[in-house]
Amino acid sequence: MTPWTEARAGLHAGILAATQTLTHGLIAFAALGAAGVAFGMAAGLAASALAGLAVALFGATRPLIGTTTAATVLVTAGLIAAVEPASAGQAVLLAMLLAGTAGVLMMGLAATGLARLAALIPTPVTQGLGNAIALLVILGQVPMLAGAGPGAALPWHLPLPGASAVAVLALAMMLRPLPGLPAPIFALAAATGLDHLLAALGIATGPSVGVAPDFGTLFAGIATVLAVPGPFPPLDLVLPAALSLALLATFETLGAAAALREASGRRGDQTRDLRAAAIGMLAGAASGGMPAAGLTVPSMACWTAGGRGRAAQAWRAAVPLALLAAGGVLIAAMPFAALSGVLCGAVARLVRMPASPFAAGPGRMRRLGDLLIVLFVMAVAVTFGLVAAVGAGVLLAVLLFTASVATSPVRRVSRNPVGRSRIRRPAEEERALYRTGEAIALIELEGPIFFGSAERILLGAEAEVATGATVLILDLSRVTRMDLSGGRRLIEICRVLPGRVLLAPLHRGSRAAEEIAALGLAAHIPPGAAFDDLPAAVEAAEALALADIEAERPAPPGTPRAALEALGIPPSAVGPLLALCSEARFPDGQPILRRGEPSDAAYLLLSGEVLISLPAGEARPATRLAVLAPGVLFGESALLGQMRRSADVTARGAVHCLRLDAAAAERLRVTAPGTAWHLMAMVARQLSVQVRTANAIIDRLEA
């Protein structure tokens, strides 16, 4: 980065910004006629220079350019047109008051940090706003493109082809600039040359600026403010316009800083940038009322040309000062059609549209939504104004976003989740449960549950009930967020099947439990509906389903003989087995087997339940594996030659068991091989049930 590089980049950006500033001054005070246009140009050059110096001195992002902008001057022009001041002094006073109030508001935005909210505005809204600004500028320039003077109506009856030719040449050279040359200078030079040529040939080309925008013009215009009598400015119009102006200047400044940040990869301080832009706005107010802000086009032009620091920004600010001091004669000779053509070409290059929704590939609906937002913002801006367009665009973006994410939070609905609880029952009872398990519907939810999507859960629950579900389980393990509407819908679903809607996991610390508690709805969950984990909820659902078929359920074995026969041992083999068994009883909570102990016996559970678990380890908490119901064999690995226990078994309630010693069972192979075969077949059948259950769980998980 050499001084020459900085100077060249600053001068390049300065010429571009100055050309735009001249047309901005033309726009702001066009309602005052030629004299007003000359003052507007002079005030614009002064504001561009002062705002550039303010951003260079106080801003954080390099090389952010502070200057007049098309969006902000439209607010000034609109307010002047709406108030219709009676004199030039009143118009200048109105513009100065507007820019000064906007500068104070920008200072407040910077001080409170609210400016960061501008980053939350969706990109389609900012694209639509930029396009709307370009469209409004071009529409405002149409009369001068056709040969009319500033503030005049479109000359429908007598358009000037010569003026249109001058404007088209300037526009074309802006849209297709010559490589390595500053487009605004050459476009103005070529268009001005064509204007003089056509005039020499007797072809009318429309008016030229005529009055030199210099320091004398600037000071004379500001002096007219002193002659304004009485309380003139209508504050009821100024304050809303100033808020609009402050917001637009904030968007412009932060947008330009963001473009430089993307190009350079260096983060800047948004608060400092906005504070510097506010100082530039106040400077513009003091120097004639032209608003100013950070601007993307000259900032990126300076960066592309090699500008990286304050020196480039300072050289850029020197250009409008030089024009104000010595360039008035050249500016006075420029035709308005040429200036309008340059401005239209500059703003046309700012038009940005989202990717086409008609192109092939995924995401067509999202691209269509972005396009609708851009077009909607443009339409609102043209009809109701720029600030209204921002608000309407953000609202539409929120609505479209809500519609896009308001897809059903139901991840999957499955029937018959039998096997997902940890209770293991006898084969006959398992088969009965599998038959009636179709009445249990497991509804798995995921993502946020909010006002736009919660209704889908309720409708899905009602659909499951309509097709025969008598128990509903809502799996909340994948829920990430919940608003009040979503939480209330969950409570409402609990009333679809009173006492038969189960919610899990709702243990302390779970995401769903935290969301429900934060909404103040924990006390509204019906008693017995909340479960710590999904297996516990499925266990409760199985109990409800089994209660519904109480008459069809096989009666639990009342005696050891009946228990063995229920496991498939023929009556002829029951006697020899019972002779080898002993009865054992365990109180609630007593360990029956411990992991790592010798495997010396198998147990048949006659009454009560037992809990199978893994003890806590160095890097693992205690884990519950299963709960066994009466009629189930456990510890059967002792009959298969396993030397050590693989898990803990603990009594849950009073437990009554048959105990079969492994050594005694081994002797059956010699003394009663037929009985030994039936015993091994019983073990194989139980293992088969366990494998089938495990496969069912795996299938559901993989689905």
CATH of the domain at 422: 3.30.750.24
Q: What is the pLDDT of residue 23?
A: 78
Preceding amide of 505 cis, omega within 30:
yes
Residue 526: inside a domain, yes or no?
Answer: yes
User: Could you tell me what percent of the chain has a pLDDT over 90?
Assistant: 25
Q: What is the pLDDT of residue 703?
A: 52
Count how many domains the chain has. Answer: 3
Neighbours of 688 (CB within 10 A): 11
Q: Identify the bridge partners of residue 603 per DSSP, sorted by sequence position.
A: 634, 659
Query: Are β-strands 423-424 and 623-628 bridged in parallel, bridged antiparallel, or unpaired?
Result: parallel
The CA distance from 488 to 525, in Å, is 10
Residue 555: inside a domain, yes or no?
Answer: no
Question: Of 352, 373, 400, which residue constitutes the final position of a domain?
Answer: 352
Residue 180 has pLDDT above 70, yes or no: no
> What mean pLDDT comes out for the span 39-60?
94
Residue 376: inside a domain, yes or no?
Answer: no
**Is there a single domain that holds both residue 517 and residue 591?**
no
Residue 113 has pLDDT above 80, yes or no: no
Tokens at residue 523, please? 């006390």
> What mean pLDDT comes out for the span 160-174?
88
Q: Identify the bridge partners of residue 446 per DSSP, sorted by sequence position.
A: 478
Q: What is the pLDDT of residue 59?
A: 93
The CATH number given to whatever domain includes residue 605 is 2.60.120.10
Residue 378: inside a domain, yes or no?
Answer: no
Q: Are 569 and 678 in contact (CB under 8 A)?
A: yes
Residue type present at position 670: V
For 698, list phi and psi in degrees, rounded to 5.
Answer: -60, -45
- Print the domain residue range for 285: 3-352
> What mean pLDDT comes out for the span 443-458?
84
Residue 165: inside a domain, yes or no?
Answer: yes
Q: Count of alpha carbons within 13 Å of 61, Cβ hemisphere only?
A: 35
Residue 480 has pLDDT above 80, yes or no: yes
The CA distance from 46 to 322, in Å, is 10
**Is there a single domain that holds both residue 582 and residue 688?**
yes
Q: Please, which pLDDT band fits residue 423 given cuts at 50, 70 and 90?
A: confident
3-class SS at 626? strand
What are the helix (H) ranges across 494-533?
511-518
Residue 91: inside a domain, yes or no?
Answer: yes
Question: Of 309, 325, 352, which residue constitutes the final position of a domain?
Answer: 352
Q: Are 586 and 651 in contact (CB under 8 A)?
A: yes
Higher pLDDT, 145 or 591: 591
**Is there a single domain that holds both residue 456 and residue 431?**
yes
**Is there a single domain that holds both residue 347 and residue 207?**
yes
Q: What is the pLDDT of residue 204?
A: 82
**Is there a single domain that holds both residue 486 and residue 626?**
no
**Is there a single domain that holds both residue 227 and residue 307?**
yes
Residue 656: inside a domain, yes or no?
Answer: yes
Q: Which range, of 180-194, 395-409, 476-490, averages the lowest pLDDT?
A: 395-409
For 108, list phi and psi in degrees, rounded to 5.
Answer: -65, -40
Q: What is the pLDDT of residue 555?
A: 67
Tokens at residue 9, please? 């980049």
The CA distance from 151 to 450, in Å, is 52
Q: What are the E-state strand segments in 463-587? A: 471-482, 501-504, 581-586
Tokens at residue 150, please? 């500033």
Q: In sequence order, what are the residues at sequence separation of 6 or more whose Cβ sits closer than 8 angstroms to the Cβ of residue 375?
A: 128
For 134, list phi and psi in degrees, rounded to 5.
Answer: -60, -45
Q: What is the pLDDT of residue 134?
A: 76
The CA distance from 402 to 359, in Å, is 24
Query: Are β-strands 633-634 and 623-628 bridged in parallel, bridged antiparallel, or unpaired?
Result: unpaired
For 381, list phi and psi in degrees, rounded to 5.
Answer: -60, -45
The CA distance from 301 to 289, in Å, is 26
**Is there a single domain that holds both residue 224 and residue 316?**
yes
**Is the pTM here over 0.75, yes or no?**
no
Higher pLDDT, 323 or 624: 323
Neighbours of 677 (CB within 10 A): 13
**Is there a single domain that holds both residue 106 and residue 160?**
yes
Neighbours of 366 (CB within 10 A): 14
Q: Identify the bridge partners of residue 447 per DSSP, sorted by sequence position.
A: 479
Task: Give 361-419 as a 3 state SS string.
Answer: CCCHHHHHHHHHHHHHHHHHHHHHCHHHHHHHHHHHHHHHHHHHHCCCCEEEEEECCCC
Q: Please, which pLDDT band fits residue 1 given cuts at 50, 70 and 90?
A: low
**Is there a single domain that holds both residue 628 and residue 544?**
no
Question: Of 548, 582, 604, which residue constitutes the final position of a domain?
Answer: 548
**Is there a single domain that holds both residue 542 and residue 634?**
no
Q: Are 7 and 330 in contact (CB under 8 A)?
A: no
For 61, list phi and psi in degrees, rounded to 5.
Answer: -90, 135
Residue 326 is inside which H or E element, if any? helix 310-326
Residue 640: inside a domain, yes or no?
Answer: yes
Segment 558-587, tens digit of pLDDT? 788 888 888 888 988 888 888 888 999 999
What does the buried/exposed string (b/e) look like for 577-594 if buried means 16 or more CB atoms within 10 Å of the residue's CB? bbebbeeeebeeeeebbe
Q: Please, which pLDDT band fits residue 290 given cuts at 50, 70 and 90?
A: very high
**Is there a single domain that holds both residue 503 and residue 566?**
no
Q: What is the pLDDT of residue 49?
A: 96
Q: Please, which pLDDT band fits residue 377 given cuts at 50, 70 and 90?
A: confident
Q: Please, which pLDDT band fits residue 321 given cuts at 50, 70 and 90?
A: very high
Mean pLDDT, rounded, of the chain: 84
> What mean pLDDT comes out for the span 247-255?
86
The CA distance from 565 to 561, in Å, is 6
**Is there a single domain that holds both residue 581 and residue 523?**
no
